[in-house]
Structure 1
Amino acid sequence: MCHGFPQKSNCLSIDSELGLLAIGTKDGRIKIVGSENVEWSGHLKLCSNIKSLQFVPDTGSLMLVSEEPSSATQSIHRVQIENDKLDIQTVSPPPFLKKINSSCVVYRASGKSFFLLGTISGNLYNLNISTLHASDFVVYDDLMGEDGNELETSQRMISYLNYNGLNDLLLVVVNNIYLIVYDISRMTVAYRIKSKYPITTAEFDSSDASMIVIAFENGSYSIYKYTYTDQLTLNPLINDVFLYGKEPTTSIKKASLMINNNQNEEEILIFIGGMPQSTCGDKYTITVKNVTSHVVFDFDSPIVDFEYMIDGSALFVLCEQELVVIDLLDPEWKPFPLPYLYPLHCSPISCSNLISNVRENVYLALCDAGIQQLTQNQMFSLRQWPLMCGYGERPKAADLENRECTILITGHEDGSVIFWKANSVNLKPLLIYRSAKDFEGYSEPNSATSPVEYDEENELPPLRKAGLFETFCDDPRFAIQKLAFDEKTGNLVIGGRGGHVIVYELNSATAKLDPLTVIKVDMIEAVQNHQGNPKGPRSGEAPLPPRKMPMAYAVGIRPSYHCMIQLKPAVPIHALAWNSENDTVAVGIEFGYVVCDLKEKQITFKNSLLPAEDIIEIVNNDGQLSRFKSVKKTIRQSFRRKKRPMAIEAGIPETGEPSSSMIENFRPTEREIVARPKNAVYNVSKGDTPPSSIRMLRFLKHNFGFEKEATLLFVGTSGGRVFIYQIEKSEIIEENCLVIRHIQMAHEAPIVHVEIVNDVLLIISEEQIRSFTIPTLKLTKFKYKMTAVEGSRITKVQTVCLRSAKNRGATEQFLAVLTHRGEIFIFSPWNLKKLVKIQFTKCTDGTAINSASLAKDGALFWLRPGGSEFQRAAISACSNYGLISPFRDRNLV
């Protein structure tokens, strides 16, 4: 199951009768949605590009035309909703159709409906929706009459088709020049006209089909009123209008005239494009205009298509990166908040965390805060979501049994943190918090939806920003690098790219807080005092300035302890750990770590692990280490993922003896097993990862040989070192936070995770899983050498508690390990026996592997390519999270 906005969206259709919306993509995916928890998904077998997609009203059927990109072979599909699934039937067009260029559904409530196909030869064909059998409808000569000889054979394509069932008339555009009104009931041409300008679209109005709106390639449009008794006549109401002046304008891609039945049948003109080239040529706009209002909605991504409800209540705008639904019954034409198809990448996701078994009071507090945030947000319409299919129906009771309170938390590059409802069919935002408000220069998003005043003298369009997707972020230091969430208390900890750490708490009332106290942590102070700093302090990584004025916080989350941590230098946060019992936060960076007591607003202890000369080099490197390293790593991985040449091309000697270059040509899924040289030299300025880099921080509770249970802090580095600290609860000072053990793994691989199971300490590095007895920390016989046996590197680890498929009340604990090749290994935590191996994504899908997040209940989320969708799976049997099937007791066929 996928959540979010489908990448490569290419077409849109609305069924106003059933209250359904369908989207087709360029990679052959189909998604149909209704009200909340009503969703169907399907996929064409050949991953073909869906060129057009149209509902057959009130039948639950979709007619599709697809094209295979490699061969340009076309196919026709009928998609039928059948209870909880989609039935897809596919046929290849007969040879006489040549190539389909346009299509439309001819729906007749009293007669037989069919699918009309326009071809490049100028002929129209009738496709039976039930049998998918094609037959002749109108040939080119009958359609064009005497004007047919004016066009060459290559110019006779049917450019556009539009049908209105009230008068049984069909609009046909031939070669973007000829507009033909065809009477289907009489099977004759009622009107034919040659346009002065190339036509892009021609459509009937949405009410009584007495008007036709024509859009032109030069950016103008015309509206005609027609009468039809024995002969059809067209009377121009508006002819060749350039709404924003006659200077060069962008083409109008599509235009419609909608009659709003709920607002005294007022006419609303909607069109894509038509903007002045000089001022708005680079904008993606859609104009909505009636007698009293005029708004140009400005989007951040190209507009693909738009559709509207037949009663004129809502406008659906499909862009390449998002779906926006505008409430046309709202006086200010506000957008609806999306219950699904949310653009997860509105700001790129920089980190994510999947949390299961959230305490009910914490979960309800998040839900209540989200509802209040939505109702108080003046940017959105509060009216009911317009798609009503399945509205009011409840999931089956069996689907809600053993339902966990699960949330997904995402951190974004603009500093936003979004809580998502992850235990339902639709991934729905619960609460949104913008951490940028805790820094200087932040201003609340403009809640006013009225557009700017229209400048008649300069003819400037009244633009209004629309949609959630944004292309750029003002400052990369806002990006959330790491997240930690306490499912018992609701505390949220964020670590930013600018070296800041803030702890938040849930609050049920509004509050106005003074500026936060900054706990400054100088990680290079000791080195500077020891060797001096001849080249001056680090200047390239200045921290974000905290706000200086009081800030009002709404119900939801707000800074806890009235303080924040700021590291010097302001390097990205690599690891976070939070202990709510001791009010202690641990922060790891590239060359050390620090533990702070937030209740006392003081530094408990800090430790810099990098040699002095390397820290000096980082300090004087103008902040380029982390950025250069990430760019270098991205480029390196991109080249490694390219296909390796054949063995002969690689220059392997014919004798079969290995050449020296063979060692360097490993595939990205292979890893050479060699002994690491001691005291290996690494170059910090070239982006080499220092062994001091903190990979893991974790608080655990165990007696560890003491008289009573103690709080332990585990610190894991990239060099295979593990530090174990005991944190005294009585007085958290440096003297009471001692290193009780220090372990150096012989293979020196980065430490990924630690876990305590039945008085056994499991230390998991990228290459091995080793077990140690507690408290002696002696090696046991149970171990697993992942890289040596499987050829994989461990990236993430989670202890999962899985339910039995037969007895949902029975659970068992396992160790789940994710690797860099898109695999999940399930181990027994008692003896480290491998139980099963699962391939959840391709080994070359770096986005999915890096973003994969596994919850304790076995739920798995990862980002699909493009970053706009989460793929959801489970490593154990689970329910469908309350999926509603509104047509379970209805035969739509």
Structure 2
Amino acid sequence: TVEHGFPHQPSALGFSDSLRLMAIGTRSGAIKIYGCPGVEFMNLHEQNNAVIKISFVPNQCQLITLLDDNSLHLWSLRQQDGISELQEERKFTLRGPPGAPPSVTQIKVLLAHSSGERLYVGTEGGSVFTLALPSLKVLEEKTVGHEMALRGLPDEYASRRPFESVEALQEHPKNPDQILIGYSRGLMMVWDVTTGCSVQHFLGTQQLENIFWCRGAQQIISCHNDGGYSQWETTGDPIQQSPMENKVPYGPFRCKAICKITWVTSRRGSPYIVFQGGMPMASYGDRHSISVVHGSQQIAFDFTSRIIDHLVICNSDPSADHDDPRALLVLAEEELVAIDLQTPGWPVIQCPYLVSLHCSAITCSYHISSIPLKLWERIISAGRKQNTHYSNMPWPVDGGVNLAEAPRQRDLLLTGHEDGTVRFWDASGICLQLMYKMSTVGVFQTDMDPNENLNSQGEEEWPPLRKVGCFDPYSDDPRLGIQKIYLCKYSGYLSIGGTAGQEQEGYRWKGHEQLHARQDPVRFPAGFQPFALVQCQPPAAVTSLALHSEWRLLAFGTSHGFGVYDFQRKCQVMFISTDIRHCPSLWAGTNGGTVYAFALRVPPTERRMEEAVSASQIKEIQLMHRAPVVGILILDGHSVPLPEPLEAAHDLSKSPDMQGSHQLLVISEEQFKVFTLPKVSSKLKLKLTATEGCRVRKAAVCTFGSCRAEEHVENHLTVLTNLGDIQVVSLPHLKPQVRYDCIRKEDVSGIASCVFTKSGQGFYLISPSEMERFSLSTCWLIAPRCKVDPPEPSANRRSQRGGSTERQNERSRQVTWTDCGFQK
């Protein structure tokens, strides 16, 4: 399996400069690692506790996670048969002395040392503990107690400093033997781990949120809860009473806390100052923002969901003179946003993965396999015209190597959304990428002007806010929601059904009252163009939709009935009485277990515009158990499902056998039943509901191939029940083949959202923002295949400068490595 979309409830972010990998932790205990497109790793903590901190071990294929139960977990990317896997190596919980309060060992911050041999953890009790890596053994003699921080301080300052927690830890950019410790009440201290004593104190008085040690090691930046930040000089006295400069960017009135700040140098002149928060409390207290300042340029990026964390990706060469920031990566609660810091205007970089599927709530989905190249290129072309505002910078998280084979065919996943949009996703490979977005809003009269620019603002506005990201959970009109989608890949016709009984060769909506078509002219962008709008009466939500592009007919149903629309002549198909026997037909099933059969009279192509299509009812079947009809299928003389419209005409399938007797398969919630045609007599049935309470929810015909003989294929019926299990049933004999547990039966929304593909795969929502993809066929396995190689040793690594004697002594104490299963 593979997961598409954005992780549900993210809680932590980590990044490795040496591996160029990004890690995201969630509240459910999931850990996900991403590199270049196609490089993905995922695993779960056993406890399912929230991940609150992630720290990569520098220059190693390892990372450490901290959970909200105060446990530490060491993970490794290990190669097996040329493929890397994410494995948990060990876990550890920091314990305090008997009788000590929990805050003494409650971990708040992590710092993995550049040597890869130590981990520093700061606690609420004000202590910094040192753990050996990879054994996670506490080095007691290296512990820095909070009382050590007060040594040598002026009495008047030390006497008013109560018990403090450690808020931040930073390693000296030039000297790996020194670390900077920041305490909650404003005190900061440079500690020498070799000599075990303090080197310098910075006597801050404002509550501390975070710190940053600049690249040249001559400045320290601290940010505070009053919305300001301070610059401290490290080349001055051992005890500094006040900073060089205090600044409140959006003052002078009360501002939100700046909870994180980054100060990086650039060869283009002024440094880049990136900070989270700091907005004026009165007017912008509800905003989620990150500000970027570079010389005279300043922008506050405004997000629609809470910001979890952010980081600045810089030049990866440690020997360079400048940081040279490339991109700003922001993890928000509902989306991931990357901003190009090298292109003027700082545009957004389009994400190749972690897409926000739920930018507006998903209301339906539809999958199409083997898209013709011509249609594929047209969709790509229309999508590119929509994406001109994105940066051309390559994706900055580019670690690892993707070993997966190129996709064998072009697949589309279409999702309908509550705001009236349909999004087209490239579902051919591991990464689900947005290709094109179509909106139906412009067709209807709503309160919003379709030509309105939501991002427009005055140039002189202060703070200089710019809205970024695509997550927008609010719909202008709930009737705009999309309920059903049908795309003919051969003709390019798209039909969309809505919530308020409207449906279009291109759109639809939902609600209690019908939506009215817009009367004034509306310019539609390149892509699918609406040309017909059908309104059902009463305006109930469309529950089923079928389009036959060869006959130019559209059939649709609601909870109040069904109809047929001729979209070539743009008129309703009349139902008349006739004795036509051998002709096209329409089959419709109801929730009451009734199946209606209609004969359709479709004029020849040359008289199509002059003569109307007509329909007549020829049969009505009432199932004895009266269970709702889930699906209807026609099998030809060889018991093969009929091809899609125009499929045989394009030589993409064999022509159906019209000589032998055809069969009708009716799939209800409780059983499958086969009827012979044209007499419509019962032939055989399979009752699937032997388990109490079992009901069929989804059914589709899938093609299963052989890995040994490519030319051998079989068509089977794939069924999903309300218990979350998937069953494969043979056609036409209705013999159960296999059964798999797939979705939890409590996951009602996941079961309702499931969609099968023709190749035996499936998609379903595992959360509002994520889809899981599974495969029932061994010929169509979709899973990440990638590897990550350890970074090559570099003479310029700062971890190799100094501290060699101390590290040798520490190695001699770590005799437990081999006991823990590691080979040194």
Relative to the length of structure 1, the TM-score reads 0.77
C-alpha displacement of 1:405 = 2.3
Q: CA deviation at 1:162?
A: 2.1
Greater alpha carbon shift after TM alignment, 496-505 vs 278-287: 496-505
Letter in 2 for 1:322: E
SS at 2:740 equivalent? strand
1:878 to partner: Cα distance? 4.1
Matching residue's letter, 1:823: D
Contact 2:479 2:511 in 1 (8 A): no
Q: Which one of 726, 741, 761 corresponds to residue 824 of structure 1?
A: 726
Correspondences of 1:402-421 after superposition (within 5 Å): 403-421=408-426
Alignment match, 1:551: 523
Which one-letter code corresponds to 2:629 in the other structure?
A: I
Q: Confirm or deny: 8 A CA contact 2:37 2:402 kept in the other structure.
A: no
Distance 1:211 1:447, change over 3 A: farther
Per-residue deviation, 1:361: 3.3
Out of 76, 89, 114, the residue aligned to residue 73 of structure 2 is: 76
Work out whether residues 66 and 72 of structure 2, in 8 Å CA contact, stay in contact via their aligned partners in 1.
yes
Q: Which residue of 2 aligns with 1:717?
A: 590
Give the alignment of 1:157-236 within 5 angstroms.
157-168=165-176, 169-184=178-193, 186-205=195-214, 207-227=215-235, 231=238, 236=243
Give the unaligned 5+ runs of structure 2.
Answer: 98-103, 316-324, 640-661, 794-823
Q: How does 1:213-612 map to 2 (within 5 A)?
A: 213-227=221-235, 231=238, 236-239=243-246, 241-261=247-267, 264-311=268-315, 312-374=325-387, 377-378=388-389, 380-390=390-400, 395=403, 399-400=405-406, 403-440=408-445, 441-444=448-451, 446=453, 452-455=458-461, 460-504=462-506, 541-554=513-526, 556-559=527-530, 562-605=531-574
CA distance in 1, matches of 2:360, 2:672: 36
Take 1:811 and 1:383, find their aligned partners in 2: how far apart are those partners? 44
SS in structure 2 at match of 1:832:
coil
Q: How does 1:739-818 map to 2 (within 5 A)?
A: 739-757=617-635, 758=639, 759-780=662-683, 782-789=684-691, 791-818=693-720
Q: For the Cα contact (< 8 Å) 1:864–1:870, is it kept in 2?
A: yes
1:494 Cα offset (Å): 0.5
Q: Secondary structure at the match of 1:551?
A: coil
**Is residue 2:600 matched to residue 1:727?**
yes
What SS does the corresponding residue of 1:724 show, helix, strand or coil?
Answer: strand
Tell me if 1:101 matches 2:101. Answer: no
- For residues 196-232 of structure 1, the C-alpha deviation after alignment (integer angstroms, 9 at most, x for no partner) is 2211111112x3232222111122221223216x957
Distance 1:438 1:17, change over 3 A: farther
**Bigger CA drift: 769-778 or 175-184?**
175-184
CA contact (8 A) 2:287 2:303 kept: yes
Shift of residue 486 of structure 1? Answer: 1.6
What is the CA–CA distance in structure 2 between the aligned matches of 1:438 and 1:721, rounded to whole Å? 35
Contact 2:420 2:439 (C-alpha < 8 Å) held by counterparts? yes
1:883 CA drift (Å): 4.3
Query: Equivalents in 2 of 1:715, 1:418: separation in Å?
Result: 28
TM-score (norm 2): 0.83
**Structure 1: unaligned runs, 5 residues or longer:** 506-517, 521-537, 608-703
Number of residue-to-residue matches in the alignment: 736
SS of 1:342's partner is coil
SS at 1:130 equivalent: coil
Q: Go from structure 1 to structure 2 and tell me whether the alpha carbon gap of 1:491 and 1:130 turns closer, same or farther (over 3 Å shift).
A: same
Q: Is the 8 A contact 2:125 2:164 kept in 1?
A: yes
Higher RCO by CA contacts (8 Å cutoff, separation 6 or greater): 2
> Cα offset for 1:422?
1.1
Deviations 1:323-382 (A, max 9, x none): 1111111211111111100111100001001222333433343334334443xx22x212
1:85 and 2:56 correspond: no
Contact 2:443-2:518 within 8 A present in 1 as well: yes
- State the secondary structure of the residue aligned to 2:217: coil
Q: What CA distance in whole angstroms lies between the structure 1 residues aligned with 2:330 and 2:299?
A: 14
Q: How do 1:7-46 residues align onto structure 2 when only pairs under 5 Å count?
A: 7-46=8-47
In structure 1, what is the equivalent of residue 100 of structure 2?
A: none
Change in CA separation of 1:125 and 1:878 when aligned onto 2, cut-off 3 Å: farther
Contact 2:601 2:615 in 1 (8 A): yes
TM superposition shift of 1:806: 4.2
1:29 counterpart letter in structure 2: A
Spell out, residue by residue over 1:709-734, the C-alpha distance to the aligned partner (whole angstroms, 9 max, x if none): x4221111111111111222217777
Cα distance between partner residues in 1 of 2:735 and 2:111 = 58
Higher mean C-alpha deviation, range 582-591 or range 565-574? 565-574
Distance 1:752 1:445 in 2: 42
How far is the alpha carbon of 1:454 from its aligned partner? Answer: 3.7
SS of residue matched to 1:172 = strand
Contact 1:425/1:880, CA 8 A, preserved across alignment: no
Cα shift at 1:280: 0.7
Change (3 A) 1:235 1:268: farther
Q: Rate the CA distance shift 1:76–1:100 in 2: closer, same or farther, 3 A.
A: farther
1:138 to 130, 137, 143: 143
Q: Give secondary structure in 2 for the equivalent of 1:849.
A: helix
Change (3 A) 1:868 1:154: farther
- Compared with structure 1, are the counterparts of its residues 154 and 743 closer, same or farther at alpha carbon in structure 2 (3 Å cutoff)? farther
Give the superposition deviation at 1:804.
2.4
SS at match of 1:279: helix
Contact 2:501–2:541 at 8 Å: present in 1 too?
yes
Give the direction of change, closer, same or farther, for the CA distance of 1:29–1:729 in structure 2 (3 Å limit).
Answer: same
Quick check: 1:159–1:174 contact (8 Å CA) kept in 2? yes
Q: What are the superposed Cα offsets for residues 289-329 of structure 1, whole Å, 9 maximum, x if unpaired? A: 22221111111111111111123110011111111111111
Amino acid paired to 2:87: D
Structure 2 equivalent of residue 63 of structure 1: 64
In the TM superposition, what whole-angstrom CA distance separates every residue of 1:694-720 from its partner, at most 9, and x where no partner exists? xxxxxxxxxx9955xx42211111111
Tell me how large the CA RMSD over aligned residues is: 3.0
Separation in 1, partners of 2:159, 2:359: 47
Letter in 2 for 1:730: P
Aligned residue type for 1:58? N
Deviates more, 1:482-491 or 1:26-35: 482-491
Whole-Å separation in 1 of the counterparts to 2:212 and 2:511: 60
| In 2: Cα distance, 1:223 partner to 1:563 partner | 64
Per-residue displacement from partner, 1:369-411 (whole Å, max 9, x unpaired)?
334443xx22x21222112225xx6745xx347x232211100
Do the aligned residues in 1 keep the contact of 2:369 with 2:409 (CA within 8 Å)?
yes
Give 1:160 deviation, angstroms: 2.0
Identity of aligned residues (%): 27
Q: Give the C-alpha shift of residue 146 in structure 1.
A: 5.6
User: How far is the alpha carbon of 1:182 from its aligned partner?
Assistant: 2.0
Quote how far apart the aligned CAs of 1:857 are: 0.7
CA distance in 2 between counterparts of 1:383 and 1:218 reads: 36
- Pair 107,579 (structure 1): closer, same or farther in 2 beyond 3 Å: same
